[in-house]
Homo-oligomer: A and B are copies of this chain.
């Protein structure tokens, strides 16, 4: 897959990632380090909560979404995250769920302060193997322009 630059994007472009499976062990490992709450950490006790079983931390879902986004868009020199809005987790992620991310390009503009960069506004929607939405977000990222390397 070629490295992508700001100039390669058009508003309305959509990109679909490969799916990735999330294991119960990964859910527990992430929770132990970053979100040590019973419904993310202890399968037996999680059965007694309103989730009726182990679920992934929303931050784990967000991190997996980032990996799929980075791998799929494959920006030359990377995408620098400026911020995220309306991050939501409408359905839980459970062990053995398979997640994929669809990215839509919402807006494109040149950086005012850094002429070699453009600002991409995008929407990422993360779904499980049943097509249920497990995360939505809008993000702004700073991405190198192709012309920066040919001027």
Contact = CB atoms under 8 A, between A and B. Distances in A.
Interface of A: 30, 33-39, 49-50, 57-60, 62-64, 66-67, 70-71, 77-89, 114
B78 A89 contact: no
A63 B77 contact: no
A90 to B, nearest CB: 9
Given A35-B67, A49-B77, A57-B66, 14 more contacts: A34-B64, A35-B63, A35-B66, A35-B70, A38-B77, A49-B78, A50-B80, A50-B114, A57-B63, A58-B81, A60-B63, A81-B89, A84-B84, A85-B85
A37 B85 CA distance: 22
